[in-house]
Amino acid sequence: MIRKNYGSLVWPLAVVINGLIVLSVCSPKISLLPERYLSFLPRLNAILNGLTFLSLLAARSAIKRKNIMRHRSFVFLAFGFTFLFLLSYLTYHFSAASTRFGGPALLRYVYLLILSSHIVLAAIIVPLAMYTMGLGLAGNTVKHRKAAYWTMPVWLYVSLTGVIVYLFIAPYYKS
């Protein structure tokens, strides 16, 4: 068991990650490659979100069966997929203009509702997931369980709605 205090790393890292995400969407595009070479990244992002979702379900199933090592492996896998997602997301959004939803108005409201909740909870899940994992790595089982009670459903929601947002907007990406 690793016995360290990861709390001092969580907030600065979460601020940096969330700051990079905001900057990537709001900043002028700086790509050295034409946008058409990056057109596969939104689909890759959705796949990585889906794999994160499945890994989290497997982690949840493992811990319900009291298989801590399998639970830990699937949580690490989910973090790995999330890290790859972050790299892909930042690459795409630093390089390509945002895509607007072009569907009917009623569907647009549904899309914006899902997207808004996804964005807010994605910003929250960054520090929450790191904090919860830090508690688990530190062997603080009681606090880890309490934090995971909130972390798991939020992370599942964020990863699933990431896929749903992609499905809504996929027809409007430039190829």
Is residue 26 in a domain?
no
Provide the number of structural domains found in the chain. Answer: 1
Using DSSP, state whether 79 is helix, strand or coil: helix
pLDDT digits 0-9 by tens, 136-171: 988 899 999 999 999 999 999 999 999 999 999 999
Is residue 140 in a domain?
yes
Is residue 48 in a domain?
yes
Residue by residue, DSSP assigns 51-68 as HHHHHHHHHHHHHHTT-H
Provide the residue range defining the domain that includes 57: 35-172
Is residue 28 in a domain?
no
pLDDT digits 0-9 by tens, 103-116: 999 999 999 999 99
Is residue 87 in a domain?
yes
Q: What is the pTM of this model?
A: 0.88
| Residue-wise burial string across 27-43, b where 16 or more C-beta atoms lie within 10 A, e elsewhere | eeeeeeeebeebeebbe
CA neighbor of 154 nearest in space, from 68, 42, 60, 73: 60
